[in-house]
Structure 1
Amino acid sequence: MKIDHSQPLEYSTHKNEMNILGFWIFLGAEIMLFATLFTSYFIYENRVGNGPSGAEIFEITPVLIETVVLLTSSFTIGLAINAMRLNRPKAMLWFLGITLILGATFLSVEIYEFVHYYHVGATLQTSAFTGILLTTLGTHGAHVTFGLFWGIAIFLQIKKHGLTPETANKSFNYSLYWHFLDVMWIFIFSFIYLKGMM
C-alpha cells in the first residue's frame, strides 16, 4: 500500500480516496431518502383527521435542547478531525467522545419526545400527519443511533491501533455522516417544528 505523505492521512492512499468518493455517493442516496420523507411530510402535514396538529403537540424546550446539542456535536466532530490532522490522537479521542455523549443526549431527549407524543395520542396510526411525522423523526433518530455505534467502533479502533490511514479514513467518513445528520436536523427543525408551531 503506497502512502502519499503530501496528502492528509485520510486521503493518503488510492483506496482511501475511493472510499471517500464512495461515501459521498452514499450520502447522495441518503439525501434522496430524506427528500422523499420531507416531500411526504409536506403532503400530509395538514391531514390530521381527529388527531392533534403539530401546534398542539410540539414543545419548544426539547426541540431547542436537541438542536443545540446536535449542532454542538457537529462542532466537536470537526475539532476531532482537526486534531486527527494535527496527529494528536488523544485530543481526537476526547472530541470524538464528547461528540458521542452529545449524540446520546440528543437521542435521550428524542425518546422523551416520542413518549410525550404517545401520551397525547400522536401515534403512527392516529393520522397521516402523525404517521409521517414519527416516520421522519424516527428515520433521523435511527441514523443517529447507528452513528453512535459506528462512532464507538471507531473510538475503540483508534485506541487500539492509533491513527493509521485506515482509521483516519473511517474517522473522516464518519465526520461527513455526522455533519449530514446535523444538516438534516436543521431542515427538520425549520420545516417541521418551527413551521408546525406557527
Structure 2
Amino acid sequence: MSAAAADPHHLGHGDVPVSERGPAPQRIVVAYGFWIFLLSDFILFSGFFASYAVLGGETAGGPSGRDVFDLGLVAWETAALLLSSFAAGLASVAMLARRAPLFQIGMAVAGLLGAAFVAGEVHEFLHLIGEGNGPARSAFLSSFFALVGCHGLHVTLGLLWLMTMMAQVGAKGFRDDVIRRVNCFMLFWHALDIIWVALFTTVYLLGSGA
C-alpha cells in the first residue's frame, strides 16, 4: 500500500513533509497558547507600570508614597508571596514524583500563603481609604490602586485556580491533561511573583524614598 493510500488525508504519516503534517499535539498547542496569554498579561501590567511612572509624582498636594506606605506590612506580604511560590514549586516536584499527598500539602500551603498576601493587601487598601487616601484623592493614588489592585486581583483568581487544580488531582489523579493544567498554573503563579518583585521595587521602595 502506498503512503498516499495509507494516509489519504495527509495527517502527518508516511513521507508527508513536516510543513504539511497535521495538527500539533495538544500539549504543544496548550503551552503555546498559554505563553501568549502570559505575554499579554505582562503587556497589561506594563501599561499600569507606565501609568504609575507618569502619575507617581502627581499628588495634588496630598500624601506621597513616603507618607502612606507601610514597608513593614509590605515586607510581610512579599515574604508570604515568595514562600507561596516556593511551596508551589515543591508541589511541582511532588507531581513529578507522582506523590499526590505531598502535592496536595504543597498546594495547600501555597494557597494559605497566597491568601495571607491578599488579606494584607486588602488591609492596606482599607487603611488608606479609611484615612481619606482613596484612589480619588490624587492621580498618584489612582495609579497606585490600579496597579497594586490589578496584581491583587490576579492573585485572587490564581487562588481559585489553585483550588481547582487540587480538586482535579484529587478526583482524576495525575492524568496528562491535568498535569498540563497544573503546569500552566505554576507558570502563572511564578509570573505573579516576578511582577510583584518589580512592583515592590518601583512602587514601594522607590516611592518611600522619593
State the TM-score, normalized to the length of structure 2.
0.86
Q: Which runs of at least 4 in structure 1 moved beyond 6 Å after TM superposition?
A: none
| Aligned counterpart, 1:7 | none
CA contact under 8 A between 1:52 and 1:121: conserved in structure 2?
A: no
Deviation readout 1:158-194 (Å, 9 max, x if unpaired): 1111111011111000000000100000011100000
1:86 aligns with 2:97: yes
Out of 127, 137, 142, the residue aligned to residue 131 of structure 1 is 142
Quick one: distance in 2 between partners of 1:138 and 1:23?
Answer: 23
1:117 aligns with 2:121: no
1:189 aligns with 2:200: yes
Q: Secondary structure at the match of 2:63?
A: coil
Q: CA deviation at 1:18?
A: 1.4
Task: Name structure 2 gaps, 5 residues minimum.
Answer: 1-23
| Aligned counterpart, 2:87 | 76
CA contact under 8 A between 1:47 and 1:127: conserved in structure 2?
A: yes
Larger radius of gyration: 2
Deviation readout 1:82-116 (Å, 9 max, x if unpaired): 11111111111110111111110000111110011
Quick one: distance in 1 between partners of 2:34 and 2:150?
Answer: 19
| Identical-pair percentage | 34
Equivalences for 1:40-55 in 2 at 5 Å? 40-55=51-66
| Aligned counterpart, 1:8 | none
1:30 aligns with 2:41: yes
Q: Which amino acid aligns with 1:131?
A: S
Q: Which amino acid aligns with 1:91?
A: L
| Aligned counterpart, 2:67 | 56
Q: Secondary structure at the match of 2:125?
A: helix
Q: CA deviation at 1:120?
A: 2.3
Q: CA deviation at 1:122?
A: 1.5
Q: Which amino acid aligns with 1:60?
A: L
Q: Which amino acid aligns with 1:135?
A: A
Quick one: distance in 1 between partners of 2:99 and 2:136?
Answer: 50
Equivalences for 1:157-196 in 2 at 5 Å? 157-196=168-207
Q: CA deviation at 1:133?
A: 0.2
Quick one: distance in 2 between partners of 1:196 and 1:120?
Answer: 19
How well do the aligned residues superpose, as a CA RMSD in angstroms? Answer: 1.0
Q: CA deviation at 1:36?
A: 0.5
Quick one: distance in 1 between partners of 2:29 and 2:94?
Answer: 23
| Aligned counterpart, 1:142 | 153
Deviation readout 1:31-87 (Å, 9 max, x if unpaired): 100011001100000000032110000001110001000011111111111111111
Task: Name structure 1 gaps, 5 residues minimum.
Answer: 1-12
Quick one: distance in 2 between partners of 1:23 and 1:40?
Answer: 26
